[in-house]
Chains A and B, each alone.
Chain A
Amino acid sequence: MRHGKYPFILAFLLPPVALYAIFVISPYIQAFYISLTEWSGFTSQATFIGLDNYQWLLRNEYFWAALWHNVLLLIALPLITIGLGLFFASMLNVGGRRGTMQITGVRGSSVYKVLYFLPQVLSVAIIGVLWRYAFEPSTGLVNGVLRAVGLDALTRAWLGDPSVAFWCVLAVLVWANVGFYVVLFSAGMQAIPRDIYEAALLDGASRFATFWRITVPLLWDTIQVAWIYLAIIALDGFAIVQIMLGNAGGPSRSADVVGLVLYRTAFMDYNFGRASAIGVAMFFLTLTVAVLSMRASRRERIEF
């Protein structure tokens, strides 16, 4: 049967690769070409103009302002999400102490698991609309809770206030994503042998020490992957900003992101050449960030 192996493998391999090539790789390659043209997106003629679109991009203050917000997201979103995710996951899995010798989660951890994961089953559109109503200044949930607990001084016009609108978006992104990483890290923690924790416990290690010296090193591969996923989400951010704040990117454009600049360039200005240039720039930026964070977080792999 050995001679029939390759046709067999090819029969499985070719259709998906062909589909991927046509629907994923081909548009990418075309975007590179389109970014070198002046094209409205309606005609069959695109005029080749070389690197003009990239020159425009370098001088465009809207792009740079939006990119700065993406950079802020890139720093804050993975830090906060992974930090919270690790904290919650370790509390759910190894935080509790039942009796003296058992490693389990804190009390009620099964309920928390469901709560954390809940936003994950909602689509981004629903999350955006939900929070737009939660942040509504006069009848919204956020100000309502603040008033109820007597913190009236903290109430504000959240999404209408340029000094907080961006942080509202960040908070929603964290809220929407943290549940997935709690589950991801939980799965990773389940794979860590119990006896390592028990040994640490016997040696009198505190929860804090257990977390830093056992959980985090043994989860490093998972954290690394989480970092890259979150970095990619942070470099996008289009959907949630567009839904919560509209095409203008919030008050004084204070939460504008590159994806939204791309959208406006393509679908309001109808300049698909420039929009593709933004897309290509983002492609390389995302690639760079992914490679860099791979490199930066590379460590000796621990086998267990």
Chain B
Amino acid sequence: MSVPQDRSVPEDTAPVFPVPLSRRALLQRAGVAGLALGPAGGLLAACATGGGGNNDAAEGEVTEDNPLGVPEDEPLEVVIFNGGFGEAYATDIHEPMYAERYPNARIEHSATEQIAQTLQSRFVSGNPPDVVNNSGANQMDNGQLAADGALYELTDLLDAPSWDDPNVTVRDTLVAGTVEVGSYNGTFYVLNYAYSVFGIWYNAALLEQYGWEYPRTWQDMVALCREIQSAGIAPWTYQGLHPRYMNWPILSMATKLAGPDILVDIDNLVPGAWNHEAIIEAATAVYNLRRDGFILEGTEGMDHVQAQTAWCQGRAVFIPCGSWLENEQADVTPEDFRMAVAPEPLLSTDSALPFEAIRATPGEPFIVPAQANNPRGGLEYLRIMLSKEGASGFTQMVSSLTSVKGAADGLELSPGLASAAQMLSNAGDNVFNWLYPSWYATMENPMIDAATGDLMTNRITPQEWAERCEAAATQIREDDSIEKYSR
């Protein structure tokens, strides 16, 4: 869920030897250790890269009630990422549904904040769980897992009848983009369950108080910014030390101006993709925010929590973010704050996409490992998650939309989430997304991240920024050891 890859490392680098050793004593000890280790070499046979796997996955009979052929008494092991969404949605909603349908199957549930540390060795030794919520700052790279053949194909799940209506396949219950985002070179491996929408966030109460209206064009945005400035408030802030958040309005505004094909070029690492004039125009727009003094002073020195908190305190009016923002800020949001989100303004009235077009992407990945003991049970568990009951339960419990169509309809939603849901439904089919950050993580951070930081503080011009992004793409393109994806 939470995008900033920023976490605390409980690692102490303080020196551990309180008593100074003389050099001679140190060398003597090293010598003794070396002698003692000679015969111990044989102990080192157990290697990190060794090990193999078993692949005797159990399968049950395929029937009308059991379209995926789930072995009814085989245990199911589920590992949940215990992050912003917690683990209760699994233990209180989805797992009971599975247990009810398959009373003889034992469910082994566990949750961790450190998915990779907990599970990586189990993948290497060929003994992974059946369902993994592979998310968080310590997630395993899904693209790499797919390239390594470590993931079970989810195609059967897509073609299976949905939980609620046997005449509708699971594929048809998913919102646009879910299959694309979870596919690697054409095969669907990763079910992204939570649905995030991106836009510019503001406090609707504050805008009402001053009689301001959210602008539909960038020209109006600049005019409004001047007005906000004269009211003594900073018009904009962004997640300072993580300037890549500003990539979102840049790419979204460029896409609305020139159409989603520019994103395909960027994702496919096409030479010159970043030098597209629409992208430079969008970069210039945000560059000018700083030039005109519209950005909250000190923003570049704040981390995402500090900047978002300053925004919650009313020190800035607009901030770019995704729909997890409301949850993330829940503790510091004042009572009278009416969180709302709107699409990025249009750079020109002559745009390829309407104002309502937004970036939306399924996130919170769930995978079934190829070497799981009960992969069919894993698929069934995902089918349960995608049921009406499973999805709306999730939305209600953790305040996030899901990638199940219409699962949030009729639910009582918090202001920010309601606004996000409204924005999504206004967008209709005009929903776009880009994938290069999940395909090539270091291209986004630190490469383009650093460039955007320099752009936002006006240390480089929009043209230089585009060159730096282009150089990042080139570096990825020319590195043969990096598995390439295309769409």
Chain A residues close to B by CB (< 8 Å): 13, 17-18, 20-22, 25-27, 29-30, 33-34, 37-46, 56, 62, 120, 123-125, 128-129, 132-133, 135-138, 143, 156-162, 176-177, 180, 184, 221-222, 224-225, 229, 232-233, 236-240, 242-243, 245-253, 256, 264-265, 267-271, 274, 294, 298
Contacts and interface: CB of A to CB of B under 8 A. Distances in A.
A44 B120 contact: no
Contact of B49 (A46, A160, A240, A246): A46
Contacts of A38: 481
15 contacts: A18-B43, A20-B33, A22-B44, A30-B49, A124-B13, A156-B301, A159-B301, A161-B300, A238-B13, A239-B13, A253-B450, A268-B5, A268-B141, A269-B441, A271-B481
A21 B42 CA distance: 10
B347 interface: no
A268 B144 CA distance: 10
B232 interface: no
A131 B297 CA distance: 19
A129 B8 contact: yes
Given A38-B481, A132-B303, A269-B442, A229 B15 contact: yes
Contact of B124 (A42, A136, A250, A270): A42
Nearest to B36: A17
B310 A138 contact: yes
Interface of B: 4-6, 8-15, 17-18, 20-23, 33, 36-37, 40, 43-44, 46-53, 116, 120, 123-126, 138, 140-141, 144-145, 147-150, 240-242, 296-303, 306, 310, 315, 441-442, 445-446, 449-450, 453-454, 457, 459, 481-482
B120 A42 contact: yes
A157 B446 contact: no
Nearest to A246: B6
A34 B141 contact: no
A159 B49 CA distance: 39
A187 to B, nearest CB: 9
Contacts of B52: 44
Contacts of A274: 481
A268 B4 CA distance: 13
Given A248-B450, A268-B445, A271-B481, A239 B301 contact: no
Given A42-B120, A43-B149, 11 more contacts: A21-B44, A22-B43, A25-B37, A34-B48, A120-B14, A125-B9, A138-B310, A160-B302, A162-B459, A264-B441, A274-B481
Contacts of B482: 269
Nearest to A236: B13
Question: Helix, strand, loop or mixed for chain A's interface?
Answer: helix
Contact of A17 (B14, B40, B48, B298): B40
A180 B43 contact: no
Contacts of B141: 40, 268-270
Given A42-B123, A125-B10, A221-B20, A248 B446 contact: yes
B288 to A, nearest CB: 19
Central interface residue in A20, A41, A298, by most chain B CB within 10 Å: A41
Contacts of A20: 33
Given A42-B120, A160-B240, A180-B15, A239 B459 contact: no
A157 B9 contact: no
Contacts of B5: 246-247, 268
Contacts of B47: 30, 33
A42 B14 contact: no
Of A17, A22, A42, A264, the most chain B CB neighbours within 10 A belong to: A42
Nearest to B50: A44
Contacts of B138: 267
B306 A160 contact: no
Interface centre among B48, B306, B450 (most CB of A within 10 A): B48
Nearest to B303: A132
A42 B140 contact: yes
B241 A245 contact: yes
B22 A221 contact: yes
B451 to A, nearest CB: 9
Contacts of A247: 5-6, 445-446
Given A22-B43, A38-B481, A42-B140, A160 B299 contact: yes
Contacts of A184: 18, 20
Contacts of A253: 446, 450
Contacts of A249: 446
Given A37-B49, A44-B51, A251 B300 contact: yes
A34 to B, nearest CB: 7
Contacts of A33: 47, 49
B53 to A, nearest CB: 7
A17 B116 contact: no
A129 B394 CA distance: 32
A72 B365 CA distance: 41
A44 B53 contact: yes
Given A30-B49, A44-B52, A246-B241, A252 B44 contact: no
A161 B46 CA distance: 47
Given A123-B12, A124-B12, A267-B116, A21 B20 contact: no
B217 to A, nearest CB: 30
A41 B48 CA distance: 9
Contacts of A125: 8-11
A157 B141 CA distance: 34
A38 B44 CA distance: 21
Contacts of A161: 300-301
B144 to A, nearest CB: 4
Nearest to B5: A247
Contact of A40 (B15, B44, B148): B148
A222 B20 contact: yes
B437 to A, nearest CB: 10
Nearest to B126: A44
A143 B5 CA distance: 26
A233 B13 contact: yes
Contacts of A22: 43-44, 46
Nearest to A176: B14
B423 to A, nearest CB: 29
A165 B12 CA distance: 21
Contact of B150 (A27, A43, A177, A239): A43
Contacts of B12: 123-124, 239
A101 B432 CA distance: 82
Contacts of B454: 251-252
B99 to A, nearest CB: 30
A226 to B, nearest CB: 8
3 tightest A-B CB contacts, nearest first: A137-B298, A157-B301, A160-B300
A301 B5 CA distance: 50
Contacts of B148: 40, 42-43
Given A44-B51, A44-B53, A247-B446, A13 B36 contact: yes
A38 B148 CA distance: 12
A68 to B, nearest CB: 16
Contacts of A298: 23
Contacts of A137: 297-302
A135 B44 CA distance: 46
B20 A44 contact: no
